[in-house]
Amino acid sequence: MPRVGFIGAGQMATAMARGIVKSKLYPAADIIASDRSKEQRESFAKLVGCSTTEDNKAVAKGSETLILAVKPNIVPYVLAEVKGCLTSSTLVVSIAAGVSLATMEELLPTGTRLARVMPNTPCLVGETASAYALGKNATKDDGKTVEQILQACGKTCRVQEKLLDAVTGLSGSGPAYVYILIEAMADGGVRMGLPRPVALQLAAQTVLGSAKMVMETGEHPGLLKDKVASPGGTTIAGIHALEKGGFRATVMNAVEAAATRSRELSKAAESKSSSKL
């Protein structure tokens, strides 16, 4: 009997399922996914090596952990479809942005155990930075289950649900900020005469290596920065240019703007869901 079921077999679900199998948390035989798209189902089955179906109810009935990997506007319809298939042993995990635990609790049987997750796209390469919040009926063991699944795809941490908008602004949207940084660094290299492929490789590897330094040394980024910037040298000249351009404030403002927008979208989704109850 499948232990983990995915409703929605898109890229994020596929990446999570591959991480689960690769980490040996569950074998492929214990995973099943449903999707209306035949193409998505075939791709999921090929990449993960597990069974797929068109039937959402079949997935819900057979899964101990049910992961909702569908668009936010689809969640109310999916929950209405499968709520009669859930049992007291089912843990429902949603990766749909903006759909609150309270909204899902209203749409599901009383006592349903829930978790809400905000992953990011590096999940596709096994390096997600995610956070999760547990519903009021979820247990400590449910938290462990969610952590194990997410750690199979990268790093995770538990937060209060009210902080998930901030998580969205930081790590949810963060990959786009980093891509812009990599592109800008590469463009700077090209401006100074480097061939574009060389500049792009150097920029991307520099970001990757720098992130690894932060994670593995445990040292504060400011301290690591100071170790690179020698008095009167090239690095401090570059840092001075960044500071004149308001680099820090711009990045902080980007996180704030994205988090604020996430909060606005969540409230709009709540209003729509409430009107359907």
| Selection from 134, 169, 166, 174 nearest residue 150 by Cα | 134
Ramachandran category for residue 251: left, alpha or beta (phi over 0 → left; psi -120 to 50 → alpha): alpha
7 is in an annotated binding site: yes
Smallest Cα–Cα separation from 118: which of 258, 218, 216, 5? 258
Tokens of 174: 């963060």
Tell me the sheet residues that pair with 92: 66, 114
- Residue 148 marked as a ligand binder: no
The string over 135-160, giving b where at least 16 C-beta atoms fall within 10 Å of a residue's C-beta and e elsewhere, is bebbeeebbebbbebbebbbebeeee
Q: Is 38 annotated as a binding residue?
A: no
- CB-CB neighbours of 256 under 10 Å: 13
Q: Is 133 annotated as a binding residue?
A: no
8 is in an annotated binding site: yes
254 is in an annotated binding site: no
SS3 assignment for 145-205 = HHHHHHHCCEEEEECCHHHHHHHHHHHHCHHHHHHHHHHHHHHHHHHCCCCHHHHHHHHHH
Which 3 state secondary structure label does DSSP give 216? helix
160 is in an annotated binding site: no
Q: Is 205 annotated as a binding residue?
A: no
Asked if residues 66 and 90 have their Cβ atoms less than 8 Å apart, the reply is yes
CB 77 within 8 A of CB 99: no
- 73 annotated as ligand-binding: no
The tokens describing 196, both together, are: 């574009």
Is 72 annotated in a binding site? The answer is yes
Structure tokens at 197: 């492929």
The annotation status of 9 as a binding-site residue, yes or no, is yes
Binding residues for NADPH: 56
Binding residues for NADP(+): 7-12, 69-72
Binding residues: 7-12, 56, 69-72
